């Protein structure tokens, strides 16, 4: 187990190195940030000065080594746009993105797995058919469209919920500003969280249903029914536990997707999170912020994947990592 974790951490480190290097290679072909900073009418001399200040005049590999050295110390340079430390700029946006992604994941797992089990029990009932039709649309409608349609219905037409922003936030501990604890902040979270969860919810629902239908046909489930166990016990204790393995795998694989779609959701709802920041950084060629984002997100995805792998051990005791 210990050796397995060490090996996985080593692999993760290699991936991070590769990711940071790829970023740098692409940057070589990107628009010159000196132009963006010095302005369109800057003289060559002014441009040169800006380049020196940013270290852009040094050769590529030296820039990369400097970057790596600084990265280990948690220093990713200053944002070209806001002139603040890039990692700090990213981390300031973390609470907004975390609360959004967390709520979306909670919705997706609760309703995806819950409805998946319900549907598998009576696959031909009207209720199940409606849910399955809904899930088909759920996996066929792009996240940005869901968001815009929800805004059109619940914000513009019915005026029940706010269409954009994060609402009122309060500082809870350290620099963490939460929108979960105020009624206004909660209201702002409903539409974006639902938008971000739709696709994952539909995927998990279909997967749970397929897994449950397969397991429910097994002999040991018939035995459990024959023993006269209550349905709750048969379904959730005996069946779901075994149907859950592909579902957990999928949840693990979907973290990357969740982060990708949080970029989309944040754009649609002008949610002040990391994804929104990334997109503006891309359009402004704000290199340090983009690199910080990629590094941070890679770190999160890699550790979450490791966590999911370890979770298997608890769900299925048959799995042992040598």
- Pick between residue 142 and residue 175 the one whose CB is nearest to other proteins: 142
Q: Is 248 in the site for other proteins (CB under 8 A)?
A: no
Residues with Cβ within 8 Å of 244's Cβ and at least 6 positions away in sequence, in order, are 113, 208, 211, 315
Q: Is 263 in the site for other proteins (CB under 8 A)?
A: yes
Identify which of 186, 187, 181 has the alpha carbon closest to the alpha carbon of residue 159.
187
Which 8-state DSSP code applies to residue 78? Answer: B
- Pick between residue 130 and residue 149 the one whose CB is nearest to other proteins: 149
* Beta carbons of 293 and 90 less than 8 angstroms apart: yes
Considering only residues 67, 131, 290, 292, which one is a binding residue for other proteins as defined by CB under 8 A?
A: 290
Interface mask toward other proteins for 110-149; x: CB under 8 A? --------------------------xx-xxxxxxx--xx
* Beta carbons of 211 and 268 less than 8 angstroms apart: no
Distance CA 150, CA 53 (A): 46
Q: Is 43 in the site for other proteins (CB under 8 A)?
A: no
Give, in degrees to the nearest 5, the angle at Cα 47 between 42 and 52: 155
Considering only residues 255, 269, 271, 295, which one is a binding residue for other proteins as defined by CB under 8 A?
A: 255
To the nearest whole angstrom, how small is the minimum distance from the Cβ of residue 174 to other proteins?
28
Residues with Cβ within 8 Å of 228's Cβ and at least 6 positions away in sequence, in order, are none
- Pick between residue 49 and residue 260 the one whose CB is nearest to other proteins: 260
Q: Is 267 in the site for other proteins (CB under 8 A)?
A: yes
Q: Which of residues 8-37 bind other proteins (CB under 8 A)?
A: 11, 15, 18, 23, 26-27, 29-31
Give, in degrees to the nearest 5, the angle at Cα 101 between 100 and 107: 95
Q: Which of residues 300-319 bind other proteins (CB under 8 A)?
A: 301-302, 305
Distance CA 298, CA 185 (A): 28
For 216, other C-beta atoms within 10 Å of its C-beta total 19
Q: Which of residues 190-229 bind other proteins (CB under 8 A)?
A: none
Footprint on this chain of other proteins (rule: CB under 8 A): 11, 15, 18, 23, 26-27, 29-31, 136-137, 139-145, 148-149, 151-152, 156, 163, 252-253, 255-257, 259-261, 263-264, 267-268, 278-279, 282-283, 290, 294, 297-298, 301-302, 305
């Amino acid at each position: 187990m210990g050796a397995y974790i060490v090996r996985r951490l080593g692999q993760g480190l290699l991936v991070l190195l590769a990711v940071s290097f790829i970023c740098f290679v692409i940057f070589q072909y990107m628009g010159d940030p000196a132009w963006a900073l010095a302005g369109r009418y800057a003289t060559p001399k002014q441009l040169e000065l800006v380049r020196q200040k940013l270290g852009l005049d040094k050769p590529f590999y030296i820039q990369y080594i400097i970057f790596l050295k600084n990265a280990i110390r948690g220093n990713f340079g200053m944002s070209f746009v806001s002139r603040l430390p890039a990692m700090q700029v990213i981390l300031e946006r973390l609470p907004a993105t975390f609360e959004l992604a967390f709520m979306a994941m909670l919705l997706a797992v609760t309703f995806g797995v819950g409805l998946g089990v319900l549907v598998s029990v009576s696959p031909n009932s009207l209720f199940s058919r409606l849910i399955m039709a809904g899930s088909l649309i759920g996996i066929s409608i792009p996240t940005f469209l869901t968001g815009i349609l929800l805004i059109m219905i619940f914000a513009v037409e019915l005026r029940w919920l706010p269409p954009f922003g994060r609402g009122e936030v309060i500082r809870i501990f350290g620099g963490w500003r939460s929108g979960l604890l105020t009624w206004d902040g909660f209201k702002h979270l409903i539409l974006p969280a639902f938008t971000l969860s739709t696709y994952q919810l539909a995927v998990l629902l279909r997967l749970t249903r397929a897994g449950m239908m397969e397991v429910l046909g097994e002999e040991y489930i018939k035995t459990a029914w024959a023993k006269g166990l209550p349905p709750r016990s048969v379904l959730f204790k005996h069946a779901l536990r075994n149907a859950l393995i592909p579902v957990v795998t999928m949840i693990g694989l979907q973290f990357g997707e969740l982060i990708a779609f949080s970029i989309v959701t944040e754009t649609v709802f002008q949610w002040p999170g990391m994804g929104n920041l990334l997109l503006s950084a891309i359009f402004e060629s704000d290199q340090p912020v983009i690199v910080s984002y990629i590094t941070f997100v890679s770190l999160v995805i890699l550790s979450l994947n490791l966590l999911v792998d370890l979770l298997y051990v608890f769900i299925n005791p048959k799995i042992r990592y040598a």
